[in-house]
Amino acid sequence: MTKTPPRSPNCNPHAERFIRSVRQECTNRLLIYGRGHAEKILHAYAQQFNEQRPHQGRGQLAPLDDPNVIPLPTPRIQRKQAVGGLINEYRQAG
């Protein structure tokens, strides 16, 4: 196994993209109090990133979304805050 050179976005683009997203959307906006706090915040962010966030490769669907379901437009939207209020998730109110 070879090591990836530092600051080489072409060598591991998926990891570089995730790290950039974590820094821009999460750690640059928080005051982290210690390792436990950092692990809790990063775990919540990774879970939201991998399960709830829309991905371009899936046609803006989140990994847990069913591609066969066509959402109906509704007049009400519910907001849920994730990662300590840094990220807002929006869902149709039912």
- Please choose, from the candidates 77, 86, 75, 89, the residue with its C-alpha nearest in 3D space to the C-alpha of residue 31: 86
At 25-71, the pLDDT tens digits run: 888 888 889 999 999 998 988 888 777 777 666 666 676 667 677 76
Which pTM value belongs to this model? 0.56
What local confidence, expressed as pLDDT, does residue 40 receive?
92
| Mean residue pLDDT across the chain | 78
Radius of gyration of the chain (CA): 16
The share of the chain scoring above pLDDT 90, in percent, equals 7
Q: Alpha carbon of 72 to those of 7, 34, 62, 91: distances in Å? A: 44, 44, 17, 12
What local confidence, expressed as pLDDT, does residue 9 receive?
57
